[in-house]
Amino acid sequence: MSSEEFTYKINVSDPRTGKTKPIQLPPEKFRPFIGLRIGDIIDGSVVGMPGYKLKITGGTDKDGFPMRPDVHGGVKVRILLSGPPGFRPKRKGERRRKTVRGNVITEDIAQANTVIVEWPPKKVEEKKAEEMEEGTTGSAESS
Protein backbone atom coordinates (compact mmCIF):
# COMPACT_ATOMS: atom_id res chain seq x y z
CA MET A 1 0.00 0.00 0.00
CA SER A 2 1.55 3.30 -1.06
CA SER A 3 1.35 6.48 1.01
CA GLU A 4 -0.59 8.25 -1.77
CA GLU A 5 -3.57 5.92 -1.24
CA PHE A 6 -3.70 6.53 2.52
CA THR A 7 -6.06 9.27 3.70
CA TYR A 8 -6.32 10.79 7.13
CA LYS A 9 -9.70 11.27 8.75
CA ILE A 10 -10.84 14.34 10.69
CA ASN A 11 -14.11 14.05 12.63
CA VAL A 12 -15.72 17.47 13.13
CA SER A 13 -18.39 17.54 15.86
CA ASP A 14 -20.96 20.33 16.02
CA PRO A 15 -22.19 20.82 19.61
CA ARG A 16 -25.20 22.83 18.38
CA THR A 17 -26.67 19.98 16.34
CA GLY A 18 -24.99 17.03 18.07
CA LYS A 19 -23.81 15.64 14.72
CA THR A 20 -20.34 14.64 13.59
CA LYS A 21 -19.07 15.05 10.03
CA PRO A 22 -16.10 12.91 8.90
CA ILE A 23 -13.68 14.63 6.49
CA GLN A 24 -11.07 12.68 4.51
CA LEU A 25 -7.74 14.47 3.98
CA PRO A 26 -4.76 13.50 1.81
CA PRO A 27 -1.37 13.47 3.59
CA GLU A 28 -0.32 16.89 2.24
CA LYS A 29 -3.44 18.59 3.67
CA PHE A 30 -3.00 16.83 7.05
CA ARG A 31 0.44 18.44 7.60
CA PRO A 32 -0.88 21.46 9.64
CA PHE A 33 -2.15 18.99 12.28
CA ILE A 34 1.28 17.39 12.80
CA GLY A 35 2.78 18.57 16.09
CA LEU A 36 -0.50 19.85 17.59
CA ARG A 37 -1.71 18.57 20.95
CA ILE A 38 -5.09 17.62 22.37
CA GLY A 39 -6.75 20.89 23.39
CA ASP A 40 -5.10 23.03 20.68
CA ILE A 41 -7.32 25.15 18.42
CA ILE A 42 -6.81 25.16 14.64
CA ASP A 43 -8.39 27.21 11.87
CA GLY A 44 -11.19 25.38 10.05
CA SER A 45 -9.99 26.46 6.61
CA VAL A 46 -7.45 23.59 6.82
CA VAL A 47 -10.34 21.10 6.48
CA GLY A 48 -12.43 23.22 4.10
CA MET A 49 -14.50 25.06 6.72
CA PRO A 50 -13.33 28.70 6.56
CA GLY A 51 -14.41 30.90 9.45
CA TYR A 52 -14.66 28.00 11.91
CA LYS A 53 -12.26 27.28 14.79
CA LEU A 54 -11.75 23.61 15.70
CA LYS A 55 -10.48 22.25 19.02
CA ILE A 56 -8.65 18.91 18.95
CA THR A 57 -10.25 16.49 21.42
CA GLY A 58 -8.48 13.20 20.64
CA GLY A 59 -7.87 10.60 17.99
CA THR A 60 -6.52 7.16 17.18
CA ASP A 61 -3.38 5.93 15.48
CA LYS A 62 -3.14 3.66 12.43
CA ASP A 63 -3.33 0.57 14.68
CA GLY A 64 -6.43 1.81 16.54
CA PHE A 65 -4.77 2.85 19.81
CA PRO A 66 -6.50 5.93 21.32
CA MET A 67 -4.79 9.19 22.22
CA ARG A 68 -4.79 10.22 25.90
CA PRO A 69 -4.47 13.84 27.03
CA ASP A 70 -2.44 12.88 30.13
CA VAL A 71 0.33 11.03 28.21
CA HIS A 72 2.85 13.57 26.94
CA GLY A 73 4.50 13.37 23.53
CA GLY A 74 3.68 11.33 20.45
CA VAL A 75 4.75 8.00 21.94
CA LYS A 76 2.95 4.69 22.24
CA VAL A 77 3.10 3.42 25.85
CA ARG A 78 1.52 0.76 28.07
CA ILE A 79 0.03 2.35 31.18
CA LEU A 80 -2.24 1.21 33.99
CA LEU A 81 -5.73 2.61 33.31
CA SER A 82 -8.82 2.78 35.48
CA GLY A 83 -11.10 4.61 33.03
CA PRO A 84 -11.58 6.04 29.55
CA PRO A 85 -10.18 6.90 27.07
CA GLY A 86 -8.60 3.57 26.23
CA PHE A 87 -10.28 1.37 28.84
CA ARG A 88 -13.84 0.99 30.09
CA PRO A 89 -13.88 -1.00 33.36
CA LYS A 90 -16.55 -3.69 33.72
CA ARG A 91 -16.33 -3.82 37.53
CA LYS A 92 -15.86 -1.12 40.16
CA GLY A 93 -12.19 -0.49 40.91
CA GLU A 94 -10.95 -2.54 37.96
CA ARG A 95 -7.62 -1.46 36.46
CA ARG A 96 -5.79 -2.83 33.47
CA ARG A 97 -2.55 -2.18 31.60
CA LYS A 98 -3.39 -0.94 28.10
CA THR A 99 -1.48 0.49 25.14
CA VAL A 100 -2.32 4.13 24.33
CA ARG A 101 -0.86 7.03 22.33
CA GLY A 102 0.41 10.36 23.65
CA ASN A 103 -1.37 13.70 23.25
CA VAL A 104 0.67 14.96 20.25
CA ILE A 105 -0.47 14.32 16.67
CA THR A 106 2.24 12.57 14.65
CA GLU A 107 2.34 10.91 11.23
CA ASP A 108 1.13 7.69 12.91
CA ILE A 109 -2.23 9.23 13.85
CA ALA A 110 -4.87 8.11 11.34
CA GLN A 111 -7.91 9.87 12.82
CA ALA A 112 -8.25 13.12 14.75
CA ASN A 113 -11.41 14.19 16.56
CA THR A 114 -12.31 17.88 16.72
CA VAL A 115 -15.18 20.00 18.00
CA ILE A 116 -16.33 23.38 16.69
CA VAL A 117 -15.63 26.13 19.23
CA GLU A 118 -16.18 29.19 17.01
CA TRP A 119 -18.55 29.68 14.10
CA PRO A 120 -18.20 32.19 11.23
CA PRO A 121 -19.39 35.65 12.30
CA LYS A 122 -21.37 36.33 9.10
CA LYS A 123 -23.94 33.61 9.85
CA VAL A 124 -24.51 35.05 13.31
CA GLU A 125 -24.95 38.52 11.82
CA GLU A 126 -27.42 37.14 9.24
CA LYS A 127 -29.45 35.46 11.98
CA LYS A 128 -29.49 38.67 14.04
CA ALA A 129 -30.56 40.65 10.96
CA GLU A 130 -33.40 38.18 10.28
CA GLU A 131 -34.54 38.37 13.91
CA MET A 132 -34.45 42.17 13.79
CA GLU A 133 -36.45 42.20 10.55
CA GLU A 134 -39.02 39.85 12.04
CA GLY A 135 -39.15 41.97 15.18
CA THR A 136 -39.64 45.25 13.27
CA THR A 137 -42.29 43.85 10.93
CA GLY A 138 -44.12 42.25 13.86
CA SER A 139 -44.14 45.51 15.87
CA ALA A 140 -45.17 47.53 12.80
CA GLU A 141 -48.13 45.22 12.11
CA SER A 142 -49.31 45.34 15.72
CA SER A 143 -49.26 49.17 15.86
Distance CA 12, CA 47 (A): 9
Verify cis geometry, omega within 30 degrees of 0, for the bond prior to 85: yes
Q: Residue range 98-115: average pLDDT?
A: 90
Question: Is 18 in a helix, a strand, or coil?
Answer: coil
Q: Is 12 exposed, middle or buried (0-12, 13-18, 19+ CB in 10 A)?
A: buried
Q: Provide the pLDDT confidence category of residue 123 given band limits of 50, 70 and 90.
A: low
pLDDT tens string 42-94: 988 888 888 888 999 999 989 989 999 888 888 888 988 888 888 888 999 99
- Look up the pTM and report it: 0.73
